[in-house]
Amino acid sequence: MQLERFIDREPKQFAYFHRLMGYSILSLILVIYAFTSPNTNYQIYVPPFFLFLLFISSKLEHWLQYQFDKKTQKSVFFAIDAIVVAVTLAGLHLNLVPTFIALFALFYSAINSRISFAVICLTSLLGAIIFYLSTFFLFGFYTYFEPTSQELTVITLLGLVMFITIGNYYQHRWVKKISQQRQHYYDQMTRYIAFANQLSRYAPLQLWQSIMRGEAEAKIEYKRKKMTVFFSDIQGFTELSETLIPDDLAFLLNDYLSHMTEIAKQYEATVDKFMGMPFSYFLVIRIHKVWSKMPKPV
């Protein structure tokens, strides 16, 4: 749909589109007020001023992006929105329905942008100053809080409904998209961990870590490499087993195998298997080491 093409954008692009919609609604309200109210001066010239603010907002956004953080950017654009609302209220002479609707929309924008209370207070002061300056120099002092005409009430309420509905719809779609991406990354991470655990059972530590880091490719190839095979056994184990009780014999074997396994890990070796007697095994060392540094067979 045409509307989804405008909505399915990045947050910065949608913020510009949403601001364009808000300024357009305020401009339409001012134009209708200018043609339906007798006390009008320069209201018809305010929409080009809003268009100028939209034009420089994109340039200002690029400049703020490289100079300040996101929080400052949101505060600056919220101040610009407050100026626009202040000029609009001054042009409407605080007409009842548009005044409350515009203030509500500005409050809605502050909540969505997570503007701090201090910034809201400073922006309110700036808006009050702009309101009185616009009233004094442009629109004049007339009767305030007049009843709103039916045409202006309908247009204002429809604009508010469109503004809030599209904003909430985008927030919903964006949260849903983020949740799907998070679930996708979680599934990929789970598969990655499961694959790493399975690979670590059958490949040397250095090999599977280099594969998982992307430093080596997991492919079948024929390549000549140096290999050192280390075989270890306990001398006189048969006679020793006849003289020890089972508990002492088990303690001896566990201590022996534990130390030999630590030596294998120290030299990045791979324990291939226990062969022959259950207490004999050999180590296949994938990376060539100096034989003098290897522990001597017992």
CA 6 to chain centre: 21
Provide the pLDDT for residue 205.
65
Predicted local confidence at residue 291, as pLDDT: 39
What are the CA-CA distances from residue 74 to residues 43, 49, 71, 200 (Å)? 28, 21, 5, 48
- d(Cα 25, Cα 81) in Å, to the nearest integer? 13
Which pLDDT value is given to residue 120?
92
Query: Which residues, in sequence order, are bridge partners of residue 229?
Result: 284
pTM: 0.63
pLDDT at 7: 60
How far apart are the C-alpha atoms of 174 and 181, rounded to whole Å? 11
Tens of each residue's pLDDT in the chain, 298 residues = 555 665 666 777 778 888 889 999 999 999 998 888 887 788 888 999 999 988 888 888 888 888 888 888 889 999 999 999 999 999 998 888 999 999 999 999 898 888 999 999 999 999 999 999 998 888 888 778 888 888 889 999 999 999 998 888 888 888 888 888 899 899 888 888 887 777 666 666 666 667 667 666 656 666 776 777 777 777 777 777 778 888 887 888 788 878 877 877 777 676 666 654 443 344 444 433 433 444 444 4
Residue 278: per-residue pLDDT = 42
Q: Name the DSSP letter for residue 253.
A: H
